[in-house]
C-alpha cells in the first residue's frame, strides 16, 4: 500500500461503485429478472445476510443496479459472481474496488479463488485498510 493513499477517499470510491455488483450479476445471470432477484435474496438468507421474509422483485433489482443497493444485495451478487462457471472478472479498476470492498465484508482474510487472485490481490491491502478506516469513522459518527 502506498503511503500516499487517501483511505477515506478510497472508501468513498469503493462505496460509490457497489451498485456494479448487482448490475454485473443481473447482466451475467440467466433467467427471468424476478428469478435472479429471488436468487440474490435466497443466497443472502442462506448466508445470514438477510433475515427479512420479504421477496424483492424485478423493480427492486433495477433500482439496486442504478443506485445504492443494500449491503446484502452486494454480498450476494459477489458471492454468486465468484462462483459462476464462466469465472467473470471485474471489468475495470472501479469494479475491482467494488468487488474488494464487498469482499472484505464477507471474508477478511483475502483468500481469493485462483481465477481472481491476480486481479484482486494487488489492491487488497489498501482496500482492507480503507474499510477499517471507514468502519472507525462510522463508529465515531455514531458516538
Residues 76-134 have pLDDT tens digits of 999 999 999 999 999 999 999 999 999 999 998 889 999 999 999 999 999 999 999 99
Q: How far apart are CA 83 and CA 81, in angstroms?
A: 5
pTM (predicted TM-score): 0.90
In contact, 18 and 98? CB cutoff 8 Å: yes
pLDDT tens string 87-103:
999 999 999 999 999 99
What does the domain layout of the chain look like in residue ranges? 7-142
H helix runs in 57-92, sequence order = 58-66, 71-81
In contact, 18 and 102? CB cutoff 8 Å: yes
Query: At a CB cut-off of 8 Å and minimum separation 6, what does 137 contact?
Result: 8
Amino acid at each position: 500500500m502506498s503511503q500516499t493513499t487517501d483511505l477515506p477517499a478510497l472508501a468513498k470510491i469503493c462505496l460509490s461503485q457497489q451498485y456494479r455488483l448487482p448490475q454485473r450479476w443481473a447482466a451475467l445471470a440467466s433467467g427471468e429478472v424476478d428469478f435472479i432477484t429471488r436468487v440474490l435474496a435466497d443466497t443472502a438468507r442462506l448466508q445470514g445476510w438477510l433475515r427479512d421474509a420479504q421477496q424483492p422483485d424485478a423493480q427492486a433489482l433495477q433500482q439496486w443496479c442504478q443506485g445504492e443497493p443494500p449491503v446484502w444485495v452486494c454480498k450476494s451478487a459477489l458471492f454468486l459472481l465468484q462462483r459462476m462457471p464462466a469465472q467473470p472478472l471485474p471489468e475495470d479498476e472501479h469494479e475491482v474496488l467494488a468487488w474488494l470492498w464487498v469482499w472484505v465484508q464477507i471474508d477478511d482474510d483475502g483468500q481469493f479463488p485462483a481465477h481472481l487472485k491476480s486481479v484482486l490481490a494487488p489492491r487488497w491491502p489498501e482496500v482492507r485498510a480503507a474499510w477499517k478506516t471507514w468502519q472507525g469513522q462510522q463508529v465515531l459518527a455514531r458516538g
